[in-house]
Structure 1
Amino acid sequence: MELSDVDSPPTSPDVAGPSAGRKRQRTPARHKRAVAKEKRNKGEPYTSPASHRAMPQRVIGAACRDGCFSKVTMPGVQAIFSAFWAIGDYNLQNAYIQKMVAIMPIARKRTAAEVSRRSISRAYQVTYNNVTTKVCFSGFMAMHGISKRRIDNALRKMTHTSVPVPDQRGRHTPCQQDCGRESRACFYLDSTLTIRKLYDMYLSWMAQTYPQESRVTFHYYSDVFRKDFNISFAPPKVDTCTTCDTINMTITNATTDGEKLAQQAKLDEHLKEARAAQDFVKRLKNDNDENTRAVCMDLQQILPTPKLHTGIAYYKRKMWTYNFCIHNIKTGESTMFVWYETVAKRGSIEVARCLKKWLDMEKEKGEFYEPRRRQ
């Protein structure tokens, strides 16, 4: 067999490609908020994800008193209404409104006050069959099925150069979050908690304290929890220090301030000794004496053997496998001594035999053995 035959990938169409995994793919376009937004921009009926209210479909309003519908004709009104909502984009609809509404200074001042509340005037127009027709304010709203608020918002987003400003809703970061993210300390909750459990606790608290008030959705609760608060879930601690756990439990259950201070001083002294031992290990690590060995020994976690997920194996008693590690601090090399419970136990005799075996292995390397430094 040639090397090219081994390295060349299979070209058979029957060979399956890499698995995509079982993780669901994100489909933002199918989210409730995205679907409701799309229908709202098209004037179709939808259900609000926030208030759960059913919003009706957009329709042409009542004809105005100035006869604007007669000037445009009903087919033209229907065409203008359908074309406006067929855009389906909030920013493009705003640009259309800004184009069809002309802003000009007031022609005549109707108040004696020096500063009038109304400083500008608006002229509305529509286009049908390439013919532009001036209409009144009520007729413009009715032809497009929109409100005064929608027109005001669209004109407010236009700059002095008549360049429209894109819609910024949902696209900005709260100032409080920007200013406080770096300065706030991170708080940790119990590792057994989740956002779903916290939300269930919130619902229970609301039912007991404010039974008549409405509840926020889980999506809103989770969004606020993640963005507005610097809170995380602490990972579970394993193989912790017995002395630290005992003293911390005593401090938690202490009834007087004097007892708490005494136990805290005891804990500080214990931590001081631990830091001194760590500093001593660091000095040994940087020692260049070839005749000195600095090691760390650990009888690691017991391994159940065999490790199977079959149903019948779940109810069978596993055989314990022991692993004793000797780590050379200077060279960074680790030696593992592995045996199972039918061979020997895990007492002081077994540990001493492993240590003697390691010393014999080091002696065989020679008297002038030079440790290999870490890169």
Structure 2
Amino acid sequence: MSIKKLKVQSHEIGKECDCKRLQCSRKIPVEGKQNIVKSFNLLESTDIQNSHLCELISIVPVKNRRPRLDEENARLSDVVALYNIRYLYENNFTELEVCRDEFIALHGITRRRIEYLLTSLKSTGIPPTGKKEKHSNIPLKLSNDTRNKIKGRDSHYSTKDY
């Protein structure tokens, strides 16, 4: 098995969140958590995993802003990300809203990957595609015309005496 495939399939459930607002870790049964990470690991490539994660992330505009003392220096965001999980439990698909930490823990991913997905969703609205696997179509061979132009140039590196 290649290292790339091992990396795609090696996600494990992380530490549960302890948020008080959503109480995410209490809502989901243990079998549901295992089904989430198992189905995520079965996805074949990083691009497919990214598109799956982006389906579960919703970006909505900010509804209310709290007044700040120092509004000039405050970083104000225009959108908020909502995280959902979808899992199979007792032959039913269930979808729940969870916090970011629980979303990260259930899929066995990092905060950095979430930030990467969010930047792509905010800027383009579509999941990012892997640019590592793409090859450019730049020809490596110089055309004869270009080669002749290079040979015809005078250079202080040339060994010819003119």
> By the TM > 0.5 criterion, same fold?
yes
Q: Distance in 2 between matches of 1:172 and 1:104?
A: 35
Pairs within 5 Å for 1:64-75: 64-66=17-19, 67-75=23-31
Query: Per the alignment, do residues 123 and 115 of structure 1 end up closer, same or farther by CA in structure 2, a change over 3 Å counting?
Result: same
Pairs within 5 Å for 1:193-272: none
What's the CA shift string for 1:304-341, capped at 9, x where partnerless?
A: xxxxxxxxxxxxxxxxxxxxxxxxxxxxxxxxxxxxxx
State the SS of the aligned residue for 1:83.
helix
Whose RCO is larger (CA < 8 A, sep 6+)? 2
Q: Distance in 1 between matches of 2:130 and 2:121?
A: 11
Which one is further off, 110-119 or 82-91?
A: 110-119
Pairs within 5 Å for 1:265-284: none
Pairs within 5 Å for 1:1-375: 35-43=2-10, 58-66=11-19, 67-110=23-66, 111=68, 112-113=71-72, 116-128=75-87, 129-158=92-121, 162-173=125-136
Letter in 1 for 2:16: A
Give the CA deviation at 1:68: 1.1
Q: Distance in 2 between matches of 1:158 and 1:146?
A: 17
Q: Distance in 2 between matches of 1:113 and 1:72?
A: 41
Letter in 2 for 1:84: F
Letter in 2 for 1:166: T
Note if contact 1:104-1:120 (Cα within 8 Å) is conserved in structure 2.
Answer: yes
What's the CA shift string for 1:23-72, capped at 9, x where partnerless?
A: xxxxxxx7xxxx111111112xxxxxxxxxxxxxx321111012312101
- Highest Rg: 1 or 2? 1
Task: Give the TM-score normalised by the residue count of structure 2.
Answer: 0.70
Q: Distance in 1 between matches of 2:74 and 2:62?
A: 13
Query: Per the alignment, do residues 75 and 171 of structure 1 end up closer, same or farther by CA in structure 2, a change over 3 Å counting?
Result: same
Note if contact 1:157-1:166 (Cα within 8 Å) is conserved in structure 2.
Answer: no
Q: CA RMSD in A?
A: 3.5
Letter in 2 for 1:64: C
Structure 2: give runs of 5+ residues left out of the alignment. Answer: 152-158
Q: Distance in 2 between matches of 1:166 and 1:126?
A: 22
Structure 1: give runs of 5+ residues left out of the alignment. Answer: 1-29, 44-57, 187-260, 269-375
Query: Per the alignment, do residues 150 and 113 of structure 1 end up closer, same or farther by CA in structure 2, a change over 3 Å counting?
Result: same
State the SS of the aligned residue for 1:61.
coil
Give the CA deviation at 1:92: 1.0
Aligned length: 141
State the SS of the aligned residue for 1:130.
strand
